[in-house]
Structure 1
Amino acid sequence: MTAETSLIHELPSVTVRRTVVSAMANNVYLITHRQSGAQVLIDAADDAPAIRRMLQDSAADSAATAKLLLVAITHRHWDHVRALAGIAGGIPTAAGREDAAGIESESGVAVSRQLEHGDVLETDGITLHAVHLRGHTAGSIAYILADGGTTLIFSGDSLFPGGVGNTESDPRRFASLLADVEERLFGAYSDDAVVLPGHGDPTTLGAERPSLPEWRERGW
């Protein structure tokens, strides 16, 4: 069931839309390049008809004919890939190398490009930088989009308002995820960077930064 479809960012080169799907309130994001019409979908989480409606709505976001060219997956968990088979249909996919086998097992869709930390995805004007965040899953990837002085971080389930993602009470996984989030997100991007998580509302690195010591102390 779709909770919401909306245009959430209008940047100089791209627009970003979001639809919220499933009982787990998964966020599905759509990036559209204003000039080329190229599109990247972040997490075909569930409800293919709702995603297609968002794709239809996005036709007005570009001067050219909009065309979905890539599905970028944040991680392998089932609730983030349930609509992948219904949406991908020959469209290239990208995900973290360590999660690729799990994504294929969950969705039946092979990952076209298996990402390492620091890889760059270029899609007809849309540039995404892959940040490997180890802990929620072994291959979780955040995608960074910078445009016109705005930085968007599509963080999947690795960073939320109020903490990092679930590491199932495993202290090693938690330590790994927190270290990666601190170094690769908080240490690399400014406080005004917008975090667009896999569930729930957006936040900024600046809003969350003061809480890092608290997260470390509580262990989740």
Structure 2
Amino acid sequence: MSDEELQTIWRQSIDHYGKQLQSIVCMEECAELIQAISKKLRKDTSSNDVLAEEMAYVIVCLHQLKMMYGITDKAISDWVEANGFEQTSCECGGVMLGPKTVRVITECSCCGDPDCDCPCCEEDDDTHHVFTLRCNAHDCYNTIDVGEDDWGYYPERKEDAIRYAVECEGWAEGKHGIQVGHLYCPEHAKDVWEES
């Protein structure tokens, strides 16, 4: 089936069942994918057919969500980039695909690049982390890089970087309701719910 034919079918489904019902179906399909992943992790004896089927349903739902809510491919790719999935490489041929939230800083013995993330640098004694934290407020793109502090200390874990951002830079961590586990820049820290 062509992309045009698929989009016609998806549009007809939205027109027939309505935005609200199709949104609920999308939520249900995501839940079924979560369940399939969980089963795969617990007992990896089955084929990948169920997992592939649930992934296909979710992919269809993502396309329908884009149609229903007017979300463009550019908006999605901007969010993918903002949340840090990029491919990086160094001259030594090492390639890593992963989140930008943690950058391993070292002076690469192969290429001399201080920002190299290649696998050959993982055992270097001079390795330290820089965590890029992003504000979770809607439509906010503020970030903070937490690396070496005033005393030469480098955070080893994301939790340490978050604690530094909160204690020293005026960021706030959500502790209640849907804000639990989310981080907010100083501009949005005032919006974090206090315990009532």
TM bucket (normalised to shorter chain) is under 0.3
* Greater RCO structure (CA 8 Å; 6+ sep): 1
| Greater strand share, structure number | 1
| Greater helix share, structure number | 2
Structure ID, larger Rg: 2
TM-score, normalised by the number of residues in structure 1: 0.26
